[in-house]
Structure 1
């Protein structure tokens, strides 16, 4: 069973949901009305945090699950937690200033790459 990976998946979805709520709150706070996609620097940063998280989900989630299936549920979950921590660091940094987003981005990108590389390596090894 993949209980740990399932839990990390649910936490990642909860974090994404949090970013959605943050965008709605930012709209209210800054006065950016729907359907506008920009208009105030604070809103723009909140929106980009949400969109960047969404952009990474199709990279992260399949890699997470394939790693869990082919290598280890516990290791996949551990790396998945690192990805979530990276997203949180990204959220905090980018919320303050665009220039502060890089450390969180690097953490989550390395975690996603580790999951992807591990999964592809394990799949290829089983094929030969």
Structure 2
């Protein structure tokens, strides 16, 4: 069973939901009306955090699950938890200033790439 990977998946979705709510709150706080996606730096940073998280989820989630299936539920969940930590660090840094987004981005990118490399390596090794 993949209980740990399922938990990490749900936590990742919860983080994305939080980022989405943060965009709505930033709209209200800055007066940016739908459908505008620019106009105030605080809103634009909140919007980019949410969209960047969405951009990474199709890389992260399948890689997470394939890694869990082919290699290890616990190891996938650990690396997946690191991805979430990276997203949180990214959120905190980018919320303050665009220049502060780098460390969180690096953490989550390394985690996602590790999951993808592990998953593809395991899948290919089973073909040979």
TM-score for the superposition, normalised by structure 2: 1.00
Q: Paired residue for 1:24? A: 24
In structure 2, C-alpha distance between the alignment counterparts of 1:39 and 1:14, rounded to whole Å: 27
Paired residue total: 128
Between the aligned partners of 1:34 and 1:65, the Cα distance in structure 2 is 35
Q: 1:43 and 2:43 equivalent?
A: yes
Structure 1 partner of 2:106: 106
Kindly indicate whether residue 109 of structure 2 is the aligned counterpart of residue 117 of structure 1.
no
Partner in structure 1 of residue 91 of structure 2 = 91
Could you say what secondary structure the match of 1:35 adopts? coil
1:56 is aligned to 56
Following superposition, the deviation at residue 67 of structure 1 comes to 0.0
Q: Secondary structure at the match of 1:39?
A: coil
Unaligned ranges ≥5, structure 1: none
TM-score, L = length of structure 1: 1.00
Q: C-alpha displacement at 1:112, in angstroms?
A: 0.1
